């Protein structure tokens, strides 16, 4: 029998753009409140910023330094960039079409409008001029371009204005162009005073760009303003820290963070009204090609419109408030919580279940005289955090606090550096992960001195393992699982992983956990192959999984083999998926679904039927090369029967039973709404109602 050709893969970057199309579809859904629809539009804008800063930037680097490279789906990098540019241009055009034709009219109907300078009344014009002169003009630094003032290298994603001028300045120099960079401290959206809002509108907003359009001449007195055009440059924001050269990661990273704002340009955004000669100059000054330039029908910094949501006190225009359910019988921040964990594993499903038990565990450990040590990994925690404050309190109280704080967490580097300084100031041991391997595992361990039934003192460990970050805000917005356990084997494994990270011990096989970069991939493949053997033997075989991304070729190849053996495979993939489902002879038994809704799908769950044993794992790892080879990750088994049933029911099955917020993937990589979506409440609402059933009429 001739060997099968290599498994066909889809393009990862096109998969990311397809995900953002699914998010953009939420902005068009008439069942979603108006301001939430605006939020989805802003999320797409923010996602695209990161897409260009990272994915497109990496491909452009490849094109420059190794143009013969092929992408994992077999495309020359130049062809991949062309396809990505075409798709991105179409998506951006669609995004602004949604803004102009759907979101603006929708908000107008709710009494919310964005007032441009040409629409201002005389009173509004006076207010705008006064605000500009008091609050904006003093902090702006206009640059008139001449041989002594070359084109400035503007900050990454900053809002800038190119002012076309005519005339000579005070020194007799001919000036035809000025550049103004809007300081980040300036608000991009202003609420007009209520006494100036006229007509049927209850809220009127003015964009900073409208102020600049109206009053840019104040910055160039004596010159004639021919036009004011906003533009924005997106730059490569990857951090380049040489693993072989650094002696202090924190110091090296602090220096690199300053340079991030001035990386190579990868995208230019201008408004439709920008004249072609000016656009050509902006492209030339930033060494960009026409495919890298995006003309847009609206503000170039679209993500900043999200601030409007908090400026409009209209609860009916956002999702109804969701209060996560309290854990029944939970003692709160009291020592009795240790007894509760000892009595049996506790599974939390956020944001449907409250994150409070995790915070209570750290806060109680900080104050309990019987607790000797706390060890925790931190990837993202946010600028403010009760949990981080509890760790600081623990160190202040004399506990042995060890925090593995990942300084290379993308876009949270500066925040994590600040937390590291505060923790160290209180005497905590702060470890900056493992150079070359981001520490992405979510682990918390408390060591407590207790008396046994025979009154003998012993040390007992308590552990929390999760799929999501120890981040108070995202715990209310992202779906994640967390396990509280005192299982001795799991606790011993967690202790071993901490020793590997903080010390210099060699990897030792773990009893319960799977760990990247050592055993997680191998165990995944073993489990997939076990299901394939069962199917070939005529036994029931099933693989269900839930990840944020499926792009690792080895895993995809094994799933194809399992599908050909007859294994039932259902995959919930939030974002990019390089696997092709439903291809006869290759993946006919594989279904791929993406869930997009009120909450961000973030859990990683792996389920293998395993001859009826139903092995279930929760993990911090996606099925991506970086997670399986270049990160410290863990996958934890769910051993308790009721907890396992909860993960299967709420983490997997519910998304196949409630298609209201689901999309199904076809063999070409296209996505369509799941059958029955328009009559269903969706999995997120179904899970909310499972905690708080709606009142019966």
- Which residues contact residue 251 at a Cβ distance below 8 angstroms, ignoring those fewer than 6 apart? none
Whole-number pLDDT of residue 1: 46
Does residue 254 lie in a domain region? Answer: no
Tell whether 340 and 245 lie within a shared domain.
no
- Strand-pair category, 438-439 with 346-350: unpaired
CB 84 within 8 A of CB 90: no
Is residue 543 located within the same domain as residue 448?
no
At 433, is the pLDDT very low, low, confident or very high (cuts 50, 70, 90)?
confident
Look at residue 147 in the predicted model and tell me its pLDDT.
Answer: 62
Instruction: Say which range, 184-193, 262-271, 406-415, 540-549, has the weakest mean pLDDT.
Output: 406-415
**pLDDT, position 452:** 74
Report whether the peptide linkage leading into residue 351 is cis, meaning its omega lies within 30 degrees of zero.
yes
**Average pLDDT estimate for 153-157:** 90
Interval 383-396 mean pLDDT: 95
In sequence order, which residues have a C-beta less than 8 Å from that of residue 190 and are 6 or more positions away?
131, 205, 206, 207, 208, 211
What pLDDT, on a 0 to 100 scale, did the predictor assign at position 697? 41
Tell me the pTM.
0.92
Same domain, 127 and 222: yes
List, in sequence order, every residue forming a beta bridge with 545; answer none if it has no partner: 571, 606
Q: Pick the residue with more confidence: 157 or 244? A: 157
- Mean pLDDT of all residues in 504-529: 93
Q: Please give the tally of structural domains in the chain.
A: 3
Phi, psi (deg, nearest 5) at residue 262: -125, 30
Residues 543 and 685 occupy one common structural domain: yes
Q: What's the mean pLDDT in 496-507?
A: 86
Does the residue 7 lie in any domain?
no
Residue 408 domain boundaries: 336-510
pLDDT of residue 152: 85
Both 274 and 368 in a single domain?
A: no
Q: Which of 528, 541, 552 is nearest to 621 (CA)?
A: 552
Question: Do 109 and 190 share a domain, yes or no?
Answer: yes
State percent of the chain over pLDDT 70: 93
CATH number at residue 533: 3.30.870.10
Q: Would you say residue 319 lies in a domain?
A: no
Render pLDDT for 454-483 as a digit per residue (tens, 0 to 9).
Answer: 777 899 999 999 999 999 999 999 999 999
Give the mean model confidence (pLDDT) for residues 40-54: 96
State residue 261's pLDDT score: 55
Give the pLDDT confidence of 186-232 residue by residue, as tens digits.
999 999 998 888 777 789 999 999 999 899 889 988 888 999 999 99
* pLDDT above 80: residue 580: yes
DSSP, res 202: S
Whole-number pLDDT of residue 416: 84
What pLDDT score does 525 carry? Answer: 98
Q: ∠ CA(663), CA(667), CA(670), 5° rounding?
A: 45
Q: What contacts 131, CB < 8 A, 6 or more positions away?
A: 190, 211
Alpha-carbon torsion 315, 319, 325, 326, what sign? negative
The dihedrals phi and psi of 113, each to the nearest 5 degrees, come to: -140, 160
Higher pLDDT, 694 or 282: 282
| Residue 199 burial by Cβ neighbours in a 10 Å radius (0-12, 13-18, 19+) | exposed
Residue 442 lies in a domain: yes
User: pLDDT value at position 694?
Assistant: 61
Q: What is the mean pLDDT of residues 676-682?
A: 92
pLDDT digit string, tens, across residues 598-632? 999 999 999 999 999 999 999 999 999 999 999 99
CA–CA distance, 252 with 585 (Å, rounded to integer): 51
| Domain end (from 485, 510, 535) | 510
Which of 244, 232, 215, 220 shows the shortest CA–CA distance to 53? Answer: 232
In a domain, 4, yes or no: no
C-alpha span between 680 and 658 (Å, rounded): 6
Is-catalytic flag, 322? no
Higher model confidence: residue 449 or residue 247?
449
Could you say which DSSP state residue 674 is in? P
Among candidate residues 349, 440, 471, 530, the one labeled active-site is 440
Q: Which residues 6+ apart lie within 8 Å of 107 measured at CB?
A: 34, 38, 113, 114
Q: What is the mean pLDDT of residues 442-462?
A: 90
Give the pLDDT score at 409: 64
Confirm if 594 and 569 have CB atoms less than 8 A apart.
no
Q: Average pLDDT of 537-547?
A: 98
Q: What are phi and psi of 82, to 5 degrees?
A: -65, -45
> Is 484 in the same domain as 546?
no
pLDDT higher than threshold 90 for residue 424: yes
In a domain, 214, yes or no: yes
Query: pLDDT tens-digit profile of 642-665?
Result: 999 999 999 999 999 999 999 999
Work out the average pLDDT over 299-315: 95
Q: Domain ends where: 495, 510, 525?
A: 510
Q: Given a cut of 60, is residue 251 above it in pLDDT?
A: no
| Separate counts of helices (H) and strands (E) for the chain | 21, 27
Give the pLDDT band of residue 243 (cuts 50, 70, 90).
Answer: very low
* Range in 229-238, 371-380, 552-561, 602-611 the model is least confident about: 229-238
Local structure of residue 441 (DSSP, 8 states): -
pLDDT range class, residue 415, cuts 50, 70, 90: confident
Can you say whether the dihedral through the CA atoms of 514, 519, 524, 527 is positive or negative? negative
Same domain for 495 and 601, yes or no, is no
């Amino acid at each position: 029998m001739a060997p099968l050709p290599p498994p066909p893969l889809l393009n990862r970057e096109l998969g990311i753009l397809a995900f953002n199309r699914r998010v953009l579809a939420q902005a068009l859904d008439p069942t979603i409140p108006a301001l939430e629809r605006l939020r989805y539009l802003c999320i797409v804008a923010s996602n695209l910023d990161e897409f260009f800063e990272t994915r497109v930037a990496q491909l452009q680097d490849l094109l420059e330094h190794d143009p013969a490279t092929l992408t994992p789906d077999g495309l020359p990098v130049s062809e991949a960039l062309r396809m990505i540019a075409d798709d991105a241009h179409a998506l951006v055009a669609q995004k602004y079409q949604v803004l102009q034709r759907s979101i603006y009219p929708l908000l107008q109907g709710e009494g919310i409008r964005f007032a441009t300078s040409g629409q201002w009344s005389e009173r509004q014009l006076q207010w705008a001029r006064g605000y500009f002169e008091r609050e904006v003009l003093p902090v702006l630094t206009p640059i008139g371009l001449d041989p002594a003032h070359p084109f400035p290298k503007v900050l990454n994603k900053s809002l800038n204005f190119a002012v076309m001028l005519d005339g000579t300045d005070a020194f007799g120099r001919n000036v035809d162009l000025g550049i103004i960079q809007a300081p980040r401290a300036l608000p991009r959206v202003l609420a007009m005073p209520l006494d100036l809002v006229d007509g049927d509108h209850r809220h009127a907003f003015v964009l900073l760009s409208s102020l600049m359009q109206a009053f840019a001449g104040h910055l160039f007195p004596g010159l004639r303003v021919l036009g004011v055009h906003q533009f924005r440059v997106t730059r490569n924001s990857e951090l380049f820290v040489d693993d072989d050269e650094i002696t202090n990661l924190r110091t090296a990273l602090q220096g690199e963070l300053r340079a991030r704002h001035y990386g190579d340009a990868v995208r230019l955004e201008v408004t439709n009204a920008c004249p072609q000669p000016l656009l050509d100059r902006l492209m030339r000054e930033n060494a960009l090609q026409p495919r890298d330039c995006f003309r847009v029908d609206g503000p170039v910094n679209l993500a900043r419109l999200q601030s409007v949501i908090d400026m409009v006190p209209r609860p009916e225009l956002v999702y109804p408030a969701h209060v996560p359910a309290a854990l029944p019988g939970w003692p709160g921040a009291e020592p009795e919580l240790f007894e509760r964990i000892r009595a049996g594993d506790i599974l939390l499903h956020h944001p449907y279940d409250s994150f409070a038990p995790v915070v209570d565990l750290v806060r109680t450990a900080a104050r309990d005289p019987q607790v000797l040590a706390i060890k925790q990994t931190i990837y993202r925690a946010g600028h403010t955090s009760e949990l981080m404050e509890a760790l600081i309190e623990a160190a202040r109280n004399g506990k042995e606090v060890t925090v593995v704080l990942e300084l290379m967490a993308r876009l949270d580097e500066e925040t994590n550096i600040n937390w590291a300084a505060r923790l160290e100031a209180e005497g905590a041991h702060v470890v900056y992960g493992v150079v070359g391997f981001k520490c992405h595992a979510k682990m918390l361990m408390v060591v407590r001195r207790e008396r046994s039934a025979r009154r003998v003192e012993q040390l007992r460990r308590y552990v929390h393992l999760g799929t999501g970050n120890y981040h108070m805000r995202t715990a209310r917005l992202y779906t994640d699982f967390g396990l509280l356990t005192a299982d001795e084997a799991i606790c011993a494994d967690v202790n071993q992983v901490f020793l590997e990270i903080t010390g210099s011990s060699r990897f030792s096989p773990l009893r319960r956990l799977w760990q990247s970069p050592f055993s997680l991939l191998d165990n995944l493949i073993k489990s997939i192959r076990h299901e394939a053997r069962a199917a070939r033997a005529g036994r029931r075989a099933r693989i269900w999984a839930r990840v944020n991304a499926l792009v690792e070729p080895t895993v995809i190849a094994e799933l194809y083999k399992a599908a050909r053996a007859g294994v039932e495979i259902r995959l919930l993939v939030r974002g990019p998926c390089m696997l092709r489902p439903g291809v006869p002879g290759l993946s006919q038994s594989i279904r791929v679904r993406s869930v997009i809704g009120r909450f961000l799908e973030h859990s990683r769950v792996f389920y293998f039927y395993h001859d009826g044993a139903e092995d279930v794992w929760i993990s911090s790892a996606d099925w991506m090369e970086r997670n399986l080879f270049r990160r410290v990750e863990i996958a934890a088994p769910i051993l308790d029967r009721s907890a396992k049933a909860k993960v299967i029911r709420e983490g997997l099955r519910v998304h196949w039973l409630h298609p209201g917020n689901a999309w199904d993937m076809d063999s070409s990589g296209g996505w369509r709404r799941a059958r029955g979506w328009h009559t269903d409440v969706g999995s997120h609402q179904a899970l909310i109602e499972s905690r708080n059933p709606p009142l019966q009429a």
